[in-house]
A and B are shown apart, each in its own frame.
Chain A
Amino acid sequence: MTSRERVLTAFEHDKPDRVPCWCGASVEFWEKAKRELNLDDEALRVRFRDDFRRVTAEYTGPQLSLSEGATYRTVFGVERHGMGYGQPMSHPLVNATLKQVHDYPWPDAGLMDVSKIKAEAEAYQGEYAILGGDWSPFWHDLIDLLGMEHMYLQMYDDPELVDAVIKHMVDFYAASSQRVFDAASDTIDIFFIGNDFGSQMGPLLSPEMFEHFILPHLKRLIDLGHAYGIPVQMHCCGGYAPLIPMLIDARLDALHAVQPSCRGMDLKTLKTEFGDKIVFNGAIDSVNVLKNGTPDSVVKDTREVLEIMMPGGGYVAGASHDTILEETPVENILAMFDTVHEFGVY
């Protein structure tokens, strides 16, 4: 069975030869692992038994110089600073009127170069499950543009404005993904989108607010993937259990980054209640198991998770939090994936 077949079988809630493996890592961890194991990028993916590969469009729009201290500029023009993805330096729409929202220089999806995607995907020769489409983190962009506190208040004070901002962003993201699919849908196996709607204590928004502000836009992206015959996997951190029934109703295929340490994310409950309706990806605790554990404890904990999550397919094994951070011992990650290889066999 190829990696691709393995993943697609699991996505169809059927039993592949073994549980597929997923490795999401920070740049720092990835570089450390390459160094320690003396492997190049692709060899490391193989060593970690990662069954997925990813192809992305490239931004070819004007390259504006960054302000002092900025490390990154989002597609919607928000500069960020600090470690990793960092934090926004300003909130361009914090006091905007509805007209100003409509007049904001929203980007053109045509600026994304999709011409190389098909060749990039075909280079894997059907061996791996290919992730594609735009990551579409419109929730995070919304927080950047409006400022988090202001955004939460605006959801009550001026919902129309919040809706308008989201709509402009999702217009861009949907068009961007559509261009990818038009160019390469036959080589893409999974449309992978991402947003964080959960905190450790539960969802950030009440289910009612989520249904109003977020779900319609997610549904639009899910429908887009399905229109091209591509299943959709969404990344979401935190304790989002109360939102899962809505996501299933919206026909989302897979949920990535199941964090068992968060409120409401008890693995047995999730598997029993939703395991036959949606694929779960992750669930091996990034902090308590992978960061603080030893290879021996990782083997034990991984086996426990497999026992709960693997029956009947519909499960992809990996860290509970994408991305694996630098301070995680490489030997623990090896222990996790080797355990899946050995004990995740159907």
Chain B
Amino acid sequence: MALDHQEPDKIPFDLGGTVLTSINVHAYRQLRQFLGLPEKEVGMMDIFQQIAVVDDDVRQKLGVDVRNVAPRSSATHNIVINETDMPGYTFFHDEWQIGWRKPKDKGFYYDMFEHPLSGASSIEDIKNFPWPDPVDPARFEGLQDQAKYVAEELGELVILGGLAAGFIELTAWTRGFAKFYPDLVTNREWLTYLMDKIIDLKMAYWEIALPMVGEYADVVQEADDLAGQFGLLISPQIYREVVKPRHKKIMDFIKARTDARIFFHSCGAIREIIPDMIDIGIDIINPVQVSATGMESSALKRDFGKDITFWGGLVDTQGVFTNGTEQQVRDEVRRRIDDLGAGGGFIAATVHNVQANVPPQNVMAMWETLQEYGNYGPGGVSQRPGDYVYSEPLDKPLMISTSPDAMPARALTPEEAAAMQQAEEALPPVILAMREAIVEGDLPDSIATANQALSEDLDAQYIILNGVVPAMEVVGQKFEEGEYFLPEMMAAALGTRGILDILSPYLTKAGTEPAGKAIIATVKGDLHDIGKNMVGMMLEGAGYEIIDLGVDISPEKFVEAIQESDAQLLGLSALLTTTMPMMRNTIQALENAGVRDQVKVMVGGAGVTQEFADNIGADGYAPDASAAVRKARDLLAASA
């Protein structure tokens, strides 16, 4: 019922239903012990992530409603774990020849260390690669019986697993990230050949699996990690040109063969492409990484809740779940239930697998809160007043969401902040180094990383979107938070300017449009330009083209500048209360000249308030430079 966007008796719960909503073996052993369940050998659901098979006694105790039905390994490839040949590590190669290793000392996960196609250059190299056999009969052994058993005997929801990870992931893993990103821009034809090869394998698998499992399949699982904590790993343009049509092809292929719903996993800040996902027929998204930029749960529910089911988002597996008190976990879970639960369309699960160091007390605090507040009907999810007060407010630093519709900032623990960094590791190192250089205000390093990124054939716009923009957001956030002051902000802006100087010829070459064009100046009579300059630099850092008219600019000059350019934004600054009325005169002059509708007018300065801005007919006001960037984005988005 929940998948039909209707309210069942209570919110369904998933722990261990997929390899993406399960629990690490360490945490699982502790949980069993905590629940007083007998010690037993724990099965491994996925060796890469070291997650456990959740046993029936735990499933019964916790009331898990869904079950994974997954193919077996191919008979032609046995994973051989090598303990001896790499000092400090155990390692193996998977059936795609990707090398994985885990530190022997306290290693929780396997990480990639070898990419089999990193040296490949021709189409022949792709053709000749020893691809795994997707239709090896060994994979499908018992698949049908298992699905039938789960559906008919256990009466649980069947989630049918796929062949492997997403095609973008497999492309990047076989090729290696360092080559993958430049290839997207400069070697796209070859790279898409590789992608299409992998997609063919995935479809060959579905072609056998779907008819075999038939009506027993309730949910079909696909995935591709498309975003990090701050935003997309691939620009929206490239996503729409390269990725989306290929995902659509896979979804169409699946939809033609089953009535099951499509469950799609992508970590990170995917808000921007959720409409695209809905568009290509995805029914369910997972893991709903609510701490990522723009992924505020109430706004997601409001904007997309009718069209897509949220599977996950119950509690972020980093942060309070790991290090918080039980009460903090309860608060977080309660909030997510209230945000996501109303009207069905929500399957309660943690954001990704429960990590190794999550204490069992917190797992149970989550579960108990779900039992207490996850019911529908009278007094249930949809009928509670939204006035819950958190008993233990979370500490700083704040995470500011860049989504125009997102809820106010929420607190983020240092552990979450660290985890955020981890989630970013998929980016090319030079992009991460660039962010660091900007945030640290290091001009030489900023310039060096820009040159380095170009020499790695990264696209200029990709560099700006993934290197400069997120870094300046961090700087703006630190400024708003009182951690950074003008010197630090200035240094960061200077580094950004250095990078943009280097990248701008490549931007024009690629014919890339700036985020927008803005005219800025102080109004007539006012010479105080520091605020205006800060706004200009921050907008520049956010990818806008700036026409800075300077100080003491008459209404006539503003009119001329608008007529001569195709700017969409006009930023008026005034420090003095005596010159503030000149803002009104300037707006009036734009109206008289008939150019008022060409631009959104933003005002700011010491004495300016929202009330004043409304009063003089401005479109927007921002109290500081970093807020001005958000306001600019909102205004342009609204007028687009």
Contacts and interface: CB of A to CB of B under 8 A. Distances in A.
A325 interface: yes
Interface in A236-275: 242, 263
Interface stretch (B67-75, B120-128, B526-534): B526-534
Interface string A214-243: 000000000000000000000000000010
Contacts of B529: 87
- The majority secondary structure among interface residues of chain A is mixed
A242 B487 CA distance: 17
A325 B491 contact: no
Given A82-B552, A206-B485, A156 B530 contact: no
A156 B441 contact: yes
B530 A148 contact: yes
Given A156-B441, A201-B623, A149 B533 contact: yes
A204 B485 contact: yes
A83 B578 contact: yes
A281 B494 CA distance: 38
A245 to B, nearest CB: 15
Given A83-B578, A200-B606, A287-B607, A155 B487 contact: yes
B379 interface: no
B490 interface: yes
A209 B623 contact: no
Contacts of B623: 200-201
B482 to A, nearest CB: 5
A83 B155 CA distance: 81
Contacts of B486: 152, 199, 204-205
B576 interface: yes
Nearest to A263: B482
B488 interface: yes
A148 B487 CA distance: 9
A344 B578 CA distance: 31
B380 interface: no
A203 interface: yes
Contacts of B482: 202, 242, 263
B167 to A, nearest CB: 46
A291 B487 contact: no
A241 B551 CA distance: 31
Contacts of B494: 149, 153
A82 B527 contact: yes
Contacts of A199: 486
A86 interface: yes
Given A156-B441, A206-B485, A327 B577 contact: yes
A148 B479 CA distance: 17
B576 A209 contact: no
A81 B624 CA distance: 26
Contacts of A291: 577
Contacts of A203: 485
A156 B491 contact: yes
B449 to A, nearest CB: 18
A127 interface: no
Contact of B487 (A82, A205, A325): A205
Interface in B520-553: 525, 527-530, 533, 551-552
A201 B530 CA distance: 14
Q: With a 10 A CB-CB cut-off, give which of B482, B487, B490, B528 has the most chain A CB atoms.
A: B487
A201 B527 contact: no
A276 interface: no
A263 B479 CA distance: 13
B420 to A, nearest CB: 24
Contacts of B479: 201
B485 A83 contact: no
Interface string A184-210: 000000000000000111111110010
B487 A156 contact: yes
B608 to A, nearest CB: 10
Given A148-B530, A327-B578, A153 B491 contact: yes
Interface of A: 81-83, 86-87, 148-149, 152-153, 155-156, 199-206, 209, 242, 263, 287, 291, 325-327
The 7 residue pairs across chains A and B that have the minimum distance between CB atoms: A152-B487, A87-B527, A82-B527, A152-B490, A206-B485, A155-B487, A204-B486
Given A87-B529, A87-B551, 4 more contacts: A87-B527, A149-B494, A153-B490, A201-B624
8 contacts: A82-B527, A153-B490, A156-B441, A202-B482, A205-B485, A206-B483, A206-B484, A325-B577
Interface of B: 441, 479-480, 482-488, 490-491, 494, 525, 527-530, 533, 551-552, 576-578, 606-607, 623-624
